[in-house]
Amino acid sequence: MIDLMEFDRCNDVRSVLEYYLTTLEEDQKPPPSFIDQAIENWKNQRIEIYAKLNQEGQILGIAVLGLVSNSISIICLAEAAHSLDKFEVEVIVKELFEAGYNRFKTSGEWITASGELEGDLQGHAIALGFRGFERASMVIGREILESIADPFLSPDYSFLPFDESMKEALGNLIFKGHVESVDVNVFPMFFSTRELALRLVENTIENRFGEFRSPKDSRILMKGDVLAGVCLITIRGNYAYIPDICIDPDLRRKGLGRALLVHTLKRLMTNHSDLDGVSLDVTLDNPAKHLYDSLGFKEQRRYKVLNWLRRWHN
């Protein structure tokens, strides 16, 4: 039986999440605040939690659903489930996944499945109409960045620091820049509409993707008085992170993306001596992957995002 958990079982859910963290490799573990933040989001009805219970009411596994992004964010087993055989475990995981799928399929335009879906579960998701997108986490070190030549642009282009008063214009640019991109399918919660693209900008400022340490870290590219591009930057520990970089599609194939990226990252290294480099995530089918490769970014790992979009099934 799959039950929607009430908040009065907070301590039981916390125990499951604490056990879940012990099963992850060190480089896959979320920040220490992860559990407290999840509990706070649950309390504020930003997430829902479904659980598989045994006959005694003990939790065997949970699915954490993000209500803002229509995401099946986490599916994890409780310690008690590890006395079960492999088949029983697979059944529990599929039931939890289907609970998330059924929760969202009639109430939204997309469902995204975060985290690693392997083997039978990935196949089960695809049978339900999900599609998979390969992505890579990439990183570049300080020494390589410092060795890259400064960008050259004609005098009608200029770089400016991020300006919060330009949020709406930046949202419009990001939406326009992703209309025909593969990432509109990978991240429909950010690129499907102008309003959602504005949310991406706001989420960056609100530290969702890392610490938005200084507006001056993120850079805007102007052509005269026309907005041409933006590179958003946050800080995660000893590395900067790029939530998004976008060039107006009417101005592409002029080397502007490379110039904006190099300018932004070299400036970061100059202004933040504590940073070891920069990281990002990219969809392998995104042409930007070639730019990152050419600059010296190295893949750290590959992973798959599985999404379900209503328009694929209409």
Q: Are residues 88 and 152 in the same domain?
A: no
Q: What is the DSSP letter of 211?
A: B
Nearest to 173 by CA among 79, 248, 107: 248
In degrees and rounded to multiples of 5, residue 306 shows phi and psi of: -115, 125
Indicate if the pLDDT at residue 203 is higher than 90: yes
pLDDT of residue 92: 94
What lies within 8 Å, CB to CB, of 296 at 6+ separation is 140, 144, 145, 148
Identify the bridge partners of residue 278 per DSSP, sorted by sequence position. Answer: 140, 240
Identify whether 245 is part of a domain.
Answer: yes
Q: Are residues 277 and 145 in the same domain?
A: yes
pLDDT of residue 205: 97
State the average pLDDT over residues 140-160.
Answer: 94
Q: What is the DSSP letter of 177?
A: H
Domain end, chosen from 128, 152, 185, is at 128
In degrees and rounded to multiples of 5, residue 31 shows phi and psi of: -60, 160
Band (263; pLDDT cuts 50, 70, 90): very high
* Token representation of residue 127: 């049978």
Amino acid at 36: D
Q: What is the DSSP letter of 8?
A: G
Band (281; pLDDT cuts 50, 70, 90): very high
* Token representation of residue 144: 């390589």
What lies within 8 Å, CB to CB, of 227 at 6+ separation is 166, 169, 170, 173, 220, 221, 248
CA angle 160–282–185, rounded 5-degree value: 100
* Token representation of residue 293: 């490769």
**Count of structural domains within the chain:** 2
Longest dimension (CA), the chain: 72
Contact 159, 219 (CB under 8 A): yes
Domain end, chosen from 128, 150, 184, is at 128
Q: Are residues 124 and 148 in the same domain?
A: no
Which tens digits make up the pLDDT trace of 293-309? 999 999 999 988 999 99
Identify whether 314 is part of a domain.
Answer: no
Nearest to 307 by CA among 211, 203, 185: 185
Q: Are residues 143 and 260 in the same domain?
A: yes
- The CATH number covering residue 19 comes to 3.40.630.30
Q: Are residues 147 and 122 in the same domain?
A: no
pLDDT of residue 119: 67
- Centre a 10 Å sphere on the Cβ of residue 92 and count the other Cβ atoms it contains: 20
Q: Are residues 184 and 143 in the same domain?
A: yes
Identify whether 71 is part of a domain.
Answer: yes
Q: Are residues 160 and 52 in the same domain?
A: no
Task: Give me the domain span that covers residue 256.
Answer: 136-303
Domain end, chosen from 128, 153, 168, is at 128
Amino acid at 182: V
State the average pLDDT over residues 202-211.
Answer: 94
Which tens digits make up the pLDDT trace of 13-47? 999 999 999 888 876 777 778 899 999 999 999 99
Query: What is the rounded distance in angstroms from the CA atom of residue 33 to the CA atom of residue 70?
Result: 22
Q: Are residues 168 and 49 in the same domain?
A: no
* Token representation of residue 16: 């499951």
Sort strands 2-4 and 277-283 into parallel, antiparallel or unpaired. unpaired
Identify the bridge partners of residue 282 per DSSP, sorted by sequence position. Answer: 136
Contact 38, 55 (CB under 8 A): no
Residue with tokens 């950010």: 190
Buried-exposed string 212-238: b where 16+ CB fall within 10 A, e elsewhere: bbeeebbbbbebeeebbbbbbbbbeee
Q: Are residues 105 and 217 in the same domain?
A: no
Identify whether 29 is part of a domain.
Answer: yes
Identify whether 99 is part of a domain.
Answer: yes
Q: Are residues 43 and 182 in the same domain?
A: no
Which tens digits make up the pLDDT trace of 77-130? 999 998 899 899 999 999 999 999 999 998 889 999 976 676 688 889 999 999
pLDDT of residue 118: 64
Identify whether 308 is part of a domain.
Answer: no
Q: Are residues 67 and 8 in the same domain?
A: yes
- Percent of the chain with pLDDT strictly greater than 90: 83
pLDDT of residue 120: 83
Indicate if the pLDDT at residue 264 is higher than 70: yes
Residue with tokens 């099963």: 23
Identify whether 312 is part of a domain.
Answer: no
Q: Are residues 162 and 244 in the same domain?
A: yes
Identify whether 288 is part of a domain.
Answer: yes
